[in-house]
């Protein structure tokens, strides 16, 4: 069981790299969506007993992260009639390298944080930090507003990963928080992207740098 | 009682002697030039004549112009009451009297220069500018000299500062006193517009200082200016005389002739200098004055180092 | 009683401009109400001071005040009283003068604003002087400072006024921030904001020196000590003249008051403090007057003289500090009495000069000295008053300026030390500096008086000028009378000064160190009266002579030149040229002169101008450099959201790695 | 009882949303504000013997710290709501349904922040505040306001996510030490000494950066100039005084826990450094700032810096910081609203165009100037008292460097801000710019006067109830009286 879980976690981390390295926006959306679905299944592994509430949580997460948000984003993209290629500030290779460095650092940093006995052999903390790092990387190195939303999604995924550690201690609160954040954030951002679309006929943030010193 | 007599002599001497100094200087210069020269008492004749004349006033002028000579004369006359002549202390003598003394002369200068500006004449303006400019440098020199004397005597009263003890100081702090003497002599020359700073006899308005300031005065007012100028000369001459020949013989009555003679000697000295030196270029005047300041300053540094 | 009267007076003063706001902008009713309130306020205030001086009546008021560390604590002591007198006197005279000078009908735009802040200014200054709590002090201080800002910018539609106001505001706020530090440090050392003297050894020497130095900067900016004076010349120039009079006569004295008060709190100082103050005094004095000589704007010239006089006051304070370090009571008494008296004197004669200058501006509509001339004929009263002010500010007998300089001279000579006294002879050189200051001031005022009032009018402005009305001349006359009073009867003011000294150095009077014993002020009275009497006698004699000898009138003798015009007169710039040259190393005059002469010279002109060296060569370049440097940081905010997010990331990592 | 201040604005929001008249809708704002003010007063002033005001099983609790901020928020909102009808009447061309609804929404969420006594709940409330206030920034529906909204939203969301991660870390630090993970503040503070230090350390870093982003501390401040520059003045006020206060409260809650735990020194160091950094950044960017609304944003950054600096310094400075929260907020009201008026009068917010405001709009110009002098820390206005208390406490506790830098930055800010403000208010209006129809009147000037009056009163004395309340609140943060 634990081995499978570790494999899945490694898969999640691998998806980070996919998201960083893929050049088509659709590809990134898919990678992030897949990561979301994987995350959705994780409560199965950390919860000792699986009740109705956990099932509900799993379903909601998977539907939201794996279906609703990707569709929403694809929709926005289609309406915007934008380029389908990511045009990064930092090249793909460099992004990947930075991602690798970040994952390494996350590993190192997570060693300084003591875990409880039952979590001590889990890879959750480094994976979480690495995902947060990737999210930041995407937020800071991609031009398109939609890619920034995806970066934000990655960031949230990282936080959710960490939240799994607390799932038992503080049931419901964690997921509720994460989902609320995600949902409202993405929802409002979506509206804004819509407006950006209408205003500029593009969702590249290049247009969004008029306000400066 | 003796004090009253001494003070009376002081006042009478101070009022009567000054024009004689001018006469002595003129005579000395004439001697050097190989001329007979005017009589020694000529300045007195001039004054009498001027006081009886009528006056001409410029329409440009105001009461300030008329006040100029009056203030100049009165301040000099009051100043003369404050300097020690042969007596150990002047009729007006108190701690800090040299300050009042200097500032009284300053008041006179203020009004003389203002009167010059009142005429609206460019030449008189020029003279006034030079007068006040050079004073700015002469004043510190005078005060630095005062510092030396104050340090030596331990007081700030001219009677004591230039009292009998000066003779003693010549042996103990001669260098400082000599520096002050030179410095004050330079101040004397500039304050009284003598060569090498100014030539009272020249007729080039552009090069004059004091004389050009009083171009427009005439009659009694001009007489007052002349008399005031001689008073001022007497004042500084007396200071120098006291510095060189302090009253030391112990007999106050004998001091008076000694004082008169020494003052006349100073006048002769001025005459000699006037005869042997040329006027400085106007731009070099400040340099000499700054030198005078430095001399005095060096004098005080020697004392307190 | 005194404190109550003063408080009442300052409240009335603060309110004096308020009723005017309710009246129409063209109505003078508000102005009259302001003047009446101001008269009432000053009468009350001066009555209070009279009570204090006559009876020693002082009942400090202390009330709780619900602000952290604050206490509403006011008291009048000898030091406060001396500074309060000009606050009340000059402000009411300025207000009366304003009836003619800044009449509401002539200045409907800004008259009401001016009087509102004029009243607040008076109140603020009174609070500064009586406050016995650091926070209350700061309140008064800032109300004063800000009101002054609004007064300076009365005519804010002019660019030069805005610039002057801006420089003032920056300077005054820098001062305020220094004072924040001063009072915070005082509290750190004493445990409260109450302004009470420290016991000896009650404060660490390093702490005391820090406080003193910060105070020197903070108060020094307000006082206009060279080189902290940068705001002063332009602010005094552009403000309405009765405001300039208050600024120069009273506001900058608040900086001096601060220094007196602060040094009275701190324990026995090291000798360096006195030496520094003395040195600053000499520098301010000499350079202040040197700059003044180079000016050709009447009010700017007077403004630089304020710096000079502040220098003279500092000489007095420096002496007192040195006296305290050396344990020489005579130096303390002479330094303080000279300094404090000069505070009073400068308030009188500088206000007199500014108000007279205002009268000139009122009549001739220009401040350019070289456009004036011959005003003594059309404005005889103004000319007379200005002359009195000029003689007084040069420190010439028989007026008040001489008395205070005399006291300071005595003290400076005293540092040479008699037998049995500890000398500090270095300080004696300040006597020579004071002599230089005096002579330069005389040169400057001969120039100004000659160029403005004497000779012939140089321009249309001067020709068409007119004498000012009775309210303006009336205000001037009061000041003239005060100048004569103190100049001729200095002993009258001695008790006041001694109470001031008692507040600074409490036990001196009891030990018999009296001013009268150290300085022969009675001789000044004698000589002053003798001078006036002789002048009158000789003057009458001359008059009789002239009547007898006959007087003819003609044009000025032009040395043979037959067609004199007003333009051939010596101008103020040419008058000052030699002196400006002598001080060229500090003044850095900008000159434009004809370079070469051909056989038939063209029309040529000479122009010289002296800007403020510290401001133009040091402060402004520094500010410009700062702004340039700061503009480089703008690359961090270029509208790129990716970069913004990066900052957050970097900050996060930095905090995680902290330690 | 404790639910009413949250529910009432929500209800008002619903009513507002439902109302159809663009003209009369804004009048609902003062109405709702009065109601809220009354409710808040009722619970804030509830006598202590009736026990603490709490609800939701302890998740909601009103402690002195909350009281200070809740009371302030309610007053602030009330004064802003008085300004709203006048302002919206000027903007009659724009639909204001969403705008008004969102203002009530912000009020509800901000109230929730102050009342929540639970780490998670507070986070939820903060998140909601961000989202609800975003549309108000977009009120003008221009490209520039859109950009501002986007930046506000994205930067704010990232920040708030970090705060979530931080909250989880904090929870885990309790879990690691085998403590109860209720996440109630009381409990956390009590358990603080036993919390796992590495986790607490990381949690503080995350929470500080997260909520610091909402507060607008440098270098997380970048959204501020854009958002404040483009939002209407009234929104600027509510953001700069209201939302930031809530974020500051969140920082304070976290600091309370760290102070009680092992990370007190670390937290104080960070707060002092970040406070000074914010002041420095604000100072640097304020010099030669041509846009006077952006300038106000930098001023806000500066004052947020002062707040955390005060708390970091400790002692009386904590009291000063809490007082400064109020003073700064009220003065920001003066500045933002009068700047808004001037903006309306000239149709521009650049100093190139805007000159002579004292002549063009005498009241607004004068108020802008007064606001500047007040915020710069001049007596007799409130900010002087609080700023001076902070610097005095810094020096008193021997933190000379912090105190000295504080004064230095205040000086630079004064100069930078002053140049812009004076350029705006003094002089003659430029002929080039065509003036709009705007003129000073009671509806747009009166509320600002009320702000000024409060600022002045707080500068002259602190009312006894407020003083004791501030004292209690400061005691929560370690001030021993």
The tens digit of pLDDT for each residue in C318-334 reads: 999 999 998 888 999 99
Q: Is B72 on the interface with C (CB under 8 A)?
A: no
Give the range with max mean pLDDT: A40-49, A121-130, B99-108, D123-132: B99-108
Q: Is D190 a domain residue?
A: no
Q: Is C656 on the interface with A (CB under 8 A)?
A: yes
Q: Which of C645, C646, C656 to mutate to test the interface with A (most CBs of A within 10 A)?
A: C645
Given this model, what pLDDT does residue C135 score?
93
Cα dihedral value B270, B272, B276, B278, nearest 10: 20
Q: Residues C167, C187: contact at Cβ < 8 Å?
A: no
How are beta strands C551-554 and B55-58 bridged, if at all? parallel
Given this model, what pLDDT does residue B208 score?
75
Interchain CB distance below 8 Å, D153 and A196? no
Nearest chain D Cα to C139, which residue?
D379
Nearest to B158 by CA among B228, B240, B90: B90
**Phi and psi at residue C6, in whole multiples of 5°?**
-65, -40
Interchain CB distance below 8 Å, B53 and C549? yes
Interchain CB distance below 8 Å, A169 and D171? yes
Q: Residues B148, B243: contact at Cβ < 8 Å?
A: no
Q: Is C486 a domain residue?
A: yes
Q: Residues D328, D383: contact at Cβ < 8 Å?
A: yes
Nearest chain A Cα to D119, which residue?
A173
Partners of residue C643 in chain A, C-beta under 8 Å: 140
Q: Is C578 a domain residue?
A: no
Given this model, what pLDDT does residue A153 score?
87
Supply the DSSP string of C297-345, one letter for each residue. BHHHHHHHHHHHHHHHHHHHHHHHHHHHHHT-HHHHHHHHHHHHHHHHH
Given this model, what pLDDT does residue A178 score?
66
Interchain CB distance below 8 Å, A210 and D144? yes
Q: Is C634 on the interface with A (CB under 8 A)?
A: yes
B211-217 mean pLDDT? 85
How confident is the model over A50-79, as pLDDT tens digits? 777 778 878 888 888 888 888 888 887 776
Partners of residue B135 in chain C, C-beta under 8 Å: 439, 442-443
Residue count of chain A, please give it: 213
Interchain CB distance below 8 Å, C166 and D392? no
Cα–Cα distance between D136 and A63 in angstroms, integer? 31
Helix (H) or strand (E) holding C552: strand C551-554
* Sign of torsion over alpha carbons C377, C378, C384, C389: negative
Question: What are the residues whose beta carbons fall under 8 Å from the beta carbon of A33, sequence distance 6 or more?
Answer: A65, A66, A67, A69, A70
Neighbouring C-beta atoms of residue C474, cutoff 10 Å:
16
How confident is the model over D88-126, as pLDDT tens digits? 988 888 888 899 999 999 999 999 999 999 888 899 899
Q: Which of C637, C641, C656 sits opposite A208 (nearest CB)?
A: C641
Cα–Cα distance between C372 and D342 in angstroms, integer? 44
Q: Is residue A201 pLDDT above 70, yes or no?
A: no
Helices and strands, number each (H, E), in chain A: 9, 0
With touching defined as 3 or more inter-chain CB pairs under 8 Å, the answer for chains D and A is yes
Given this model, what pLDDT does residue D366 score?
94
Q: Is residue B237 pLDDT above 90, yes or no?
A: yes
Given this model, what pLDDT does residue C573 score?
86
Given this model, what pLDDT does residue A80 score?
62
Q: Is C161 a domain residue?
A: yes
Q: Is A110 on the interface with C (CB under 8 A)?
A: no
Q: Is C171 a domain residue?
A: yes
Q: How far is A158 from chain D (nearest CA, A)?
A: 9
Cα–Cα distance between B33 and B11 in angstroms, integer? 35
Interchain CB distance below 8 Å, C642 and A142? yes
Q: Is A192 on the interface with C (CB under 8 A)?
A: no
Nearest chain B Cα to C442, which residue?
B110
Question: What are the residues whose beta carbons fall under 8 Å from the beta carbon of A159, sequence distance 6 or more?
Answer: A128, A132, A178, D161, D164, D165, D168
Given this model, what pLDDT does residue C391 score?
95
Q: Residues A107, D193: contact at Cβ < 8 Å?
A: no
Within 107-146 of B, beta carbons closer than 8 Å to C belong to: 107, 109-110, 113-114, 116-126, 128-130, 132-133, 135-140, 142-144, 146
Q: Residues A116, A52: contact at Cβ < 8 Å?
A: no
Which of B204-213, C134-143, C258-267, D70-79 comes out lowest in average pLDDT?
B204-213
Interchain CB distance below 8 Å, D146 and A192? yes
Nearest chain D Cα to A150, which residue?
D154
Supply the DSSP string of B183-242, one letter for each residue. HHHHHHHHHTT-TTT--TT---GGG-SHHHHTTT--HHHHHHHHHHHHHHHHHHHHHHHH
Q: Is C646 on the interface with A (CB under 8 A)?
A: yes
Reduced to 3 states (helix: H, G, I; strand: E, B; else coil), residue D118 is strand
Task: Give the bridge partners for A39, in sequence order.
Answer: none
Q: Are residues C508 and C627 in the same domain?
A: no
Q: Are residues C496 and C622 in the same domain?
A: no
**Residue B203: which pLDDT band, with cuts at 50, 70 and 90?**
low
Given this model, what pLDDT does residue C81 score?
94
Nearest chain D Cα to A112, which residue?
D198
What total number of domains does chain C contain? 2
Interchain CB distance below 8 Å, C170 and D418? yes
Task: Give the bridge partners for C609, in sequence order.
Answer: C590
Partners of residue C69 in chain D, C-beta under 8 Å: 316, 389, 392
The position carrying tokens 């889990």 is A122
| Domain-terminating residue out of C490, C516, C531 | C531
Q: Residues C246, C336: contact at Cβ < 8 Å?
A: no
Q: How far is C336 from chain D (nearest CA, A)?
A: 31
Question: What are the residues whose beta carbons fall under 8 Å from the beta carbon of C628, sequence distance 6 or more?
Answer: none
A81-107 mean pLDDT? 84
What total number of domains does chain D contain? 1
Distances (CA, A) of C432 to A92, A132, B96, B100: 79, 76, 14, 15
Interchain CB distance below 8 Å, C641 and D426? no
Tokens read off for C523: 């001789």
Given this model, what pLDDT does residue A92 score?
86
Interchain CB distance below 8 Å, C639 and A140? no
| Domain-terminating residue out of C531, C563, C596 | C531
Which of B225-229, D149-153, D435-439 comes out lowest in average pLDDT?
D435-439
Given this model, what pLDDT does residue B39 score?
92
Q: Are residues C133 and C256 in the same domain?
A: yes
Q: Is A133 on the interface with D (CB under 8 A)?
A: no
Q: Which of B75, B94, B110 sits opposite C442 (nearest CB)?
A: B110
Nearest chain A Cα to C645, which residue?
A140
Helices B219-244/B174-191 angle, 10° precision? 170
Interchain CB distance below 8 Å, C402 and B52? no
Tokens read off for C516: 């009268």
Q: Which chains touch C (3 or more CB pairs under 8 A)?
A: A, B, D
Interchain CB distance below 8 Å, D391 and C181? yes
Task: Give the bridge partners for D55, in sequence order.
Answer: D60
Q: How far is B152 from chain C (nearest CA, A)?
A: 9
Eight-class DSSP state of C364: H
Residue D479 half-sphere exposure, CB side, CA atoms within 13 Å?
25
Given this model, what pLDDT does residue D481 score?
57
Q: How far is C435 from chain B (nearest CA, A)?
A: 5
Partners of residue C418 in chain B, C-beta under 8 Å: 154-155
* Sign of torsion over alpha carbons B229, B231, B232, B237: positive
Q: How far is C123 from chain A (nearest CA, A)?
A: 43
Q: Is residue C239 pLDDT above 80, yes or no?
A: yes
Interchain CB distance below 8 Å, C556 and B224? no
Within 249-278 of B, beta carbons closer than 8 Å to C belong to: none
Domain that holds residue C294: 2-531
**Residue B165: which pLDDT band, with cuts at 50, 70 and 90?**
confident
Question: What are the residues whose beta carbons fall under 8 Å from the beta carbon of D101, sequence distance 6 or more?
Answer: D13, D16, D17
Q: Which of C141, C173, C652 sits opposite D205 (nearest CB)?
A: C652
Q: Is C460 on the interface with A (CB under 8 A)?
A: no
Question: How far does Cα C289 stand from its chain's mean position?
Answer: 13
Cα–Cα distance between D350 and D352 in angstroms, integer? 5
Q: Residues D269, D310: contact at Cβ < 8 Å?
A: no
Q: Is D144 a domain residue?
A: no
Q: Is B32 on the interface with C (CB under 8 A)?
A: no
B236-264 mean pLDDT? 87
Mean pLDDT of chain B: 89
**Residue C100: which pLDDT band, with cuts at 50, 70 and 90?**
very high
Q: Is residue C51 pLDDT above 90, yes or no?
A: yes
Angle at the Cα of A200 from the Cα atoms of A199 and A204, rounded to 5 degrees: 130
Helices and strands, number each (H, E), in chain B: 13, 1
Q: Is C364 a domain residue?
A: yes
Cα–Cα distance between D153 and D170 in angstroms, integer? 25
Question: How far does Cα C162 stand from its chain's mean position?
Answer: 21
Q: How far is B167 from chain C (nearest CA, A)?
A: 20
Given this model, what pLDDT does residue B42 score?
93
Domain that holds residue D466: 274-481
Interchain CB distance below 8 Å, B146 and C394? no
C508-533 mean pLDDT? 88
Q: Is residue C119 pLDDT above 70, yes or no?
A: yes
Residue C578 half-sphere exposure, CB side, CA atoms within 13 Å?
24
**Quick check: bond before A153 cis, omega within 30?**
no
Tokens read off for C395: 């420190």
Which of A161-170, C159-168, D34-43 comes out lowest in average pLDDT?
A161-170
| Domain-terminating residue out of C531, C546, C562 | C531
Question: What are the residues whose beta carbons fall under 8 Å from the beta carbon of B178, sequence distance 6 or more?
Answer: none
Q: Is D185 a domain residue?
A: no
Q: Residues A135, A153: contact at Cβ < 8 Å?
A: yes
Distances (CA, A) of D374 to C126, C136, D301: 22, 17, 16
Helix (H) or strand (E) holding C242: helix C241-246
Interchain CB distance below 8 Å, A141 and C642? yes
Interchain CB distance below 8 Å, C655 and D316? no
Given this model, what pLDDT does residue A183 score?
65
Interchain CB distance below 8 Å, C642 and A140? yes
Nearest chain D Cα to A198, which residue?
D143
Higher-confidence residue of C603 and C438: namely C438
Cα–Cα distance between C649 and A140 in angstroms, integer? 9
**Residue B214: which pLDDT band, with cuts at 50, 70 and 90?**
confident
Q: How many CB pairs under 8 A join A and C?
A: 35
Nearest to C569 by CA among B289, B95, B122, D476: B122
Q: Is residue C507 pLDDT above 70, yes or no?
A: yes
Given this model, what pLDDT does residue A1 score?
62
Q: Which of D120, D147, D226 sits opposite A177 (nearest CB)?
A: D120
Given this model, what pLDDT does residue A175 score?
65
How confident is the model over B35-46, as pLDDT tens digits? 988 999 999 999
Cα–Cα distance between D449 and A169 in angstroms, integer? 52
**Residue D459: which pLDDT band, with cuts at 50, 70 and 90?**
very high
Within 21-80 of A, beta carbons closer than 8 Å to C belong to: none
Given this model, what pLDDT does residue A56 score?
82
With touching defined as 3 or more inter-chain CB pairs under 8 Å, the answer for chains B and D is no
């Amino acid at each position: 069981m634990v081995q499978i879980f570790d494999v899945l976690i490694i898969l999640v981390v691998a998806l980070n790299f996919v998201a960083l390295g893929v050049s088509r926006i659709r590809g990134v959306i898919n990678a992030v969506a897949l990561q979301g679905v994987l995350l959705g299944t994780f409560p199965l592994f950390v919860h000792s007993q699986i009740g109705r509430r956990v099932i509900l949580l799993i379903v909601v997460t998977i539907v939201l992260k794996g279906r609703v948000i990707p569709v929403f984003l694809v929709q926005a993209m289609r309406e915007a009639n934008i380029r389908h290629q990511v045009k990064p500030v930092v090249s793909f290779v460099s992004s990947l390298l930075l991602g690798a460095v970040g994952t390494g650092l996350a590993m190192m940093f997570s060693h300084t944080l003591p875990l409880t006995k039952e979590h001590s052999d889990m890879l959750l903390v480094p994976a979480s930090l690495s995902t947060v790092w990737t999210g930041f990387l995407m937020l800071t190195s991609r031009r398109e507003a939609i890619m920034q939303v995806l970066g934000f999604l990655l960031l949230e995924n990282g936080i959710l990963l960490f939240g799994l550690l607390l799932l038992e201690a503080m049931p419901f609160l964690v997921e509720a928080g994460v989902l609320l954040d995600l949902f409202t954030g993405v929802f409002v951002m979506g509206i804004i992207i819509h407006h950006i679309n209408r205003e500029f006929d593009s969702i590249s943030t290049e247009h969004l740098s008029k306000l400066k010193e | 009682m003796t004090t009253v007599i001494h003070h009376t002599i002081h006042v009478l001497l101070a009022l009567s002697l000054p024009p004689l100094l001018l006469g002595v200087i003129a005579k000395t210069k004439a001697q050097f030039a190989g001329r007979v020269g005017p009589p020694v008492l000529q300045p007195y004749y001039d004054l009498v004549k001027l006081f009886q004349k009528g006056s001409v006033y410029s329409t440009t002028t105001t009461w300030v112009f008329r006040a100029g000579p009056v203030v100049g004369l009165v301040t000099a006359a009051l100043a003369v009451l404050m300097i020690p002549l042969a007596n150990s202390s002047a009729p007006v003598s108190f701690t800090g009297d040299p300050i009042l003394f200097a500032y009284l002369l300053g008041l006179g200068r203020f009004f003389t220069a203002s009167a010059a500006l009142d005429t609206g004449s460019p030449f008189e303006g020029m003279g006034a500018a030079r007068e006040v400019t050079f004073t700015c440098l002469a004043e510190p020199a005078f005060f630095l000299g005062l510092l030396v004397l104050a340090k030596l005597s331990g007081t700030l009263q001219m009677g004591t500062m230039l009292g009998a003890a000066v003779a003693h100081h010549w042996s103990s702090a001669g260098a400082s006193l000599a520096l002050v003497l030179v410095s004050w002599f330079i101040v004397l020359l500039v304050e009284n517009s003598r060569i090498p700073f100014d030539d009272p006899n020249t007729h080039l308005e552009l090069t004059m200082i004091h004389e050009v300031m009083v171009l427009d005065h005439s009659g009694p007012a001009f007489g007052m200016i002349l008399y005031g100028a001689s008073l001022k000369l007497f004042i500084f001459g007396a200071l120098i005389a006291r510095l060189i020949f302090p009253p030391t013989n112990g007999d106050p009555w004998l001091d008076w002739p000694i004082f008169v003679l020494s003052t006349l000697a100073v006048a002769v000295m001025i005459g000699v200098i006037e005869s042997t030196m040329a006027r400085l270029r106007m731009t070099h005047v400040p340099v000499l004055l700054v030198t005078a300041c430095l001399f005095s300053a060096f004098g005080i540094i020697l004392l307190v180092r | 009683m005194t404190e109550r009267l003063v408080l009442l007076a300052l409240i009335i003063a603060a309110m004096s401009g308020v009723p005017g706001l309710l009246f129409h902008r063209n109505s003078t009713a508000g102005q009259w109400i302001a003047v009446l309130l101001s008269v009432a306020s000053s009468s009350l205030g001066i009555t209070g001071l009279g009570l204090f001086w006559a009876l020693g009546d002082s009942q400090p008021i202390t009330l709780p005040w619900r602000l952290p560390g604050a206490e509403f604590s006011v008291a009048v002591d000898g030091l406060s009283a001396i500074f309060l007198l000009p606050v009340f006197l000059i402000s009411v005279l300025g207000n009366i003068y304003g009836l003619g000078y800044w009449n509401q009908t002539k200045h409907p735009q800004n008259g009401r604003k001016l009087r509102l802040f004029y009243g607040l200014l008076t109140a603020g200054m009174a609070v500064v002087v009586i406050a016995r709590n650091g926070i209350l002090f700061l309140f008064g201080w800032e109300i004063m400072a800000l009101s002054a800002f609004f007064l300076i910018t009365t005519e804010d539609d002019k660019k030069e006024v805005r610039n002057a106001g801006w420089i003032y505001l920056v300077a005054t706020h820098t001062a305020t921030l220094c004072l924040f530090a001063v009072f915070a440090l005082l509290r750190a050392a004493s445990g409260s904001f109450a302004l009470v003297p420290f016991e000896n050894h009650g404060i660490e020497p390093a702490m005391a020196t820090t406080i003193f130095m910060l105070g020197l900067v903070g108060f020094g900016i307000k006082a206009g000590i060279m080189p902290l004076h940068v705001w002063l010349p332009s602010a005094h120039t552009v403000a309405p003249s009765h405001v300039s009079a208050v600024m120069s006569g009273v506001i900058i004295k608040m900086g001096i008051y601060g220094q007196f008060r602060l040094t009275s709190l701190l324990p026995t100082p090291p000798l360096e403090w006195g030496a520094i103050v003395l040195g600053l005094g000499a520098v301010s004095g000499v350079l202040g007057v040197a700059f003044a000589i180079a000016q050709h704007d009447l009010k700017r010239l007077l403004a630089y003289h304020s710096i000079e006089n502040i220098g003279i006051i500092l000489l007095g304070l420096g002496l007192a500090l040195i006296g305290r370090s050396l344990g020489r009571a005579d130096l303390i008494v002479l330094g303080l009495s000279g300094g404090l008296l000069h505070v009073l004197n400068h308030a009188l004669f500088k206000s007199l000069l500014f108000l007279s200058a205002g009268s000139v501006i009122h009549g001739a509509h220009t401040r350019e000295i070289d456009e004036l001339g011959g005003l003594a004929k059309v404005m005889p009263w103004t000319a007379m008053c200005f002359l009195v002010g000029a003689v007084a500010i040069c420190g010439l007998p028989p007026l008040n300026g001489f008395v205070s300089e005399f006291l300071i001279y005595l003290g400076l000579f005293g540092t040479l030390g008699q037998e049995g006294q500890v000398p500090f002879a270095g300080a004696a050189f300040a006597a020579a500096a004071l002599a230089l200051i005096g002579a330069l001031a005389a040169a400057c005022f001969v120039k100004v008086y000659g160029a403005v009032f004497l000779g012939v009018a140089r321009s249309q402005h001067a020709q068409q000028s007119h004498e000012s009305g009775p309210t303006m001349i009336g205000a001037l006359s009061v000041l003239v009378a005060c100048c004569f009073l103190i100049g001729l009867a200095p002993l009258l003011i001695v008790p006041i000064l001694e109470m001031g000294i008692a507040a600074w150095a409490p036990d001196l009077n009891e030990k018999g160190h009296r001013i009268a014993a150290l300085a022969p002020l009675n001789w000044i009275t004698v000589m002053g009266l003798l001078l006036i009497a002789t002048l009158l006698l000789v003057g009458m004699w001359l008059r009789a002579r002239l009547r007898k000898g006959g007087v003819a009138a003609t044009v000025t003798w032009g040395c043979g030149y037959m067609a004199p015009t007003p333009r051939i007169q010596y101008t103020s710039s040419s008058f000052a040229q030699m002196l400006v040259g002598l001080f060229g190393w500090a003044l850095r005059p900008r000159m434009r002169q004809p370079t070469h002469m051909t056989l038939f010279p063209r029309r040529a002109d000479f122009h010289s101008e002296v800007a403020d060296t510290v401001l133009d060569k040091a402060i402004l370049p520094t500010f410009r450099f700062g702004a340039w440097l700061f503009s480089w940081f703008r690359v961090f905010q270029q509208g790129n959201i990716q970069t913004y997010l990066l900052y957050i990331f970097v900050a996060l990592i930095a905090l995680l790695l902290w330690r | 009882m404790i639910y009413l201040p949250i529910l009432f604005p929500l209800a008002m929001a619903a009513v507002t949303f439902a109302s159809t008249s663009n003209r009369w809708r804004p009048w609902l704002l003062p109405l709702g504000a009065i109601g809220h003010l009354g409710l808040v007063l009722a619970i804030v002033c509830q006598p202590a013997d009736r026990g603490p005001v709490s609800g939701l099983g302890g998740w909601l609790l009103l402690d002195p710290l909350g009281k200070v901020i809740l009371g302030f928020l309610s007053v602030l909102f009330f004064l802003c709501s008085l300004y709203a009808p006048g302002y919206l009447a000027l903007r009659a061309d724009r639909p204001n349904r969403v705008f008004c609804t969102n203002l009530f929404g912000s009020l509800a969420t901000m109230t929730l922040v102050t009342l929540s006594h639970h780490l998670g709940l507070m986070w939820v409330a903060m998140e909601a505040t961000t989202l609800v206030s975003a549309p108000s920034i977009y009120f003008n529906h221009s490209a520039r306001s859109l950009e501002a909204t986007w930046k506000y939203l994205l930067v704010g969301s990232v920040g708030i996510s970090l705060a979530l991660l931080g909250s989880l870390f904090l929870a885990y630090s309790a879990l690691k030490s085998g403590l109860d993970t209720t996440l109630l503040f009381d409990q956390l503070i009590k358990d603080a000494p036993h919390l796992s230090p590495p986790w607490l350390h990381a949690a503080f870093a995350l929470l500080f950066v997260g909520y610091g982003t909402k507060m607008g501390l440098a270098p997380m401040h970048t959204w501020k100039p854009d958002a404040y520059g483009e939002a209407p003045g009234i929104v600027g006020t509510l953001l700069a005084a209201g939302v930031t206060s809530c974020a500051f409260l969140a920082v304070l809650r976290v600091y309370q826990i760290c102070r009680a735990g092992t990370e007190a020194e670390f937290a104080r160091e960070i707060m002092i450094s970040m406070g000074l950094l914010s002041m420095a950044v604000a100072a640097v960017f304020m010099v030669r700032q041509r846009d006077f609304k952006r300038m106000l944003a930098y001023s806000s950054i500066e004052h947020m810096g002062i707040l955390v600096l005060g708390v970091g310094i400790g002692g009386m400075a904590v009291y000063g910081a809490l007082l400064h929260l109020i003073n700064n907020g009220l003065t920001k009201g003066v500045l933002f609203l009068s700047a808004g008026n001037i903006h309306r009068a000239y149709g521009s917010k650049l100093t190139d165009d805007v000159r002579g405001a004292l002549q063009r709009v005498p009241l607004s110009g004068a108020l802008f100037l007064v606001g500047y002098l007040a915020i710069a820390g001049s007596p007799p206005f409130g900010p002087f008292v609080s700023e001076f208390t902070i610097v005095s406490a810094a020096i008193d506790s021997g933190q000379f460097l912090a105190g000295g830098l504080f004064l230095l930055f205040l000086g630079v800010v004064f100069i930078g801000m002053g140049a812009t403000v004076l350029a705006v208010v003094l002089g003659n209006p430029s002929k080039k710019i065509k003036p709009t129809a705007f003129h000073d009147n009671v509806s747009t000037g009166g509320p600002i006067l009320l702000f000024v009056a409060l600022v002045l009163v707080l500068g002259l004395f602190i009312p006894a109830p407020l003083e004791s309340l501030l004292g209690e609140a400061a005691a929560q943060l370690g001030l021993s009286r």
